[in-house]
Amino acid sequence: MSCEHLVCASCAHPVVEGRCPVCRANRERMHSHGFAGLTPALIALLLIALLFVTLVVKHLSGL
């Protein structure tokens, strides 16, 4: 979802401009992505690394 076309109920200006504290807070809330401050790409990279570590451990334990 984007805030490009939203109008603030407090100041009647576009939210994307962030003219009032309500606009800035809502713009920041809408533009926050990820989990615990991590970007989706970093989360995917961590999951792939975890998969490889799991495969290596499984392979080594089978020897």
Which pLDDT value is given to residue 45? 94
Q: Do 2 and 24 fall into the same domain?
A: yes
- Of these ranges, 8-12, 28-32, 50-54, the one predicted with the greatest mean pLDDT is 50-54
CA atoms within 13 A on the CB side of 23: 17
Whether this model's pTM surpasses 0.85:
no
Distance separating alpha carbons of residues 26 and 29, to the nearest angstrom: 5
Residue type, 19: R
Q: Do 48 and 63 fall into the same domain?
A: yes
| Chain centroid to CA 14 | 22
Residue 50 pLDDT class (50, 70, 90 cuts): very high
How many domains are there within the chain?
A: 2
Q: Do 24 and 44 fall into the same domain?
A: no
Residue 33 pLDDT class (50, 70, 90 cuts): low
Residue range of the domain that includes 47? 35-63
**Of the candidates 57, 36, 38, which has an alpha carbon nearest to the alpha carbon of residue 46?**
38
- For the chain, the C-alpha Rg in angstroms (whole number) is 21
